Amino acid sequence: MTLLPIRSPGLTAGPVPARPFDTPVPVAFFMIGSDDESLQWLRKYRDLLLSQSAVGLLVDASDKEDLEVVAEAAGGLPITPASGEDIAKALGVKHYPFAVSEGRIWQ
């Protein structure tokens, strides 16, 4: 079974305004693509995400090489290829990268 390519229709790279998120989540998580913007964001916030034991959903990637680049940028954070469309819709988010942790949605 192959998980790639992975696409999340309706989600694109772009800005996500920070806002409170009062619904408890069992674990901090983040959504990213394999694009340059997502990789830069992941490298910038990797240590914070590690400190929160966050898990990542890779919502847009073409092939194994994309997955490997993201895994390297994640530096030990768990990354799972998965469609993020339903979760993003429930959160009212149309873009990535973003994280849900500490009672807020943020980029």
Q: What percent of the chain has pLDDT over 90?
A: 89
Residue 81: the pLDDT is 94
Average the pLDDT over 1-15 and give the result: 87
Mean pLDDT for the chain? Answer: 94
pLDDT for residue 4: 84
Indicate if the pLDDT at residue 71 is higher than 60. yes
> Count of H helices and E strands in the chain?
3, 8
76-91 pLDDT, tens digit each: 999 999 999 999 999 9
Contact criterion met (CB below 8 Å) for 101 and 20: no
> What do you get for the CA distance between the two ends of the chain, in Å?
32
Across the strands, what pairs with 33? 60
pTM value is 0.93
| pLDDT category of residue 1 using cuts at 50, 70 and 90 | very low
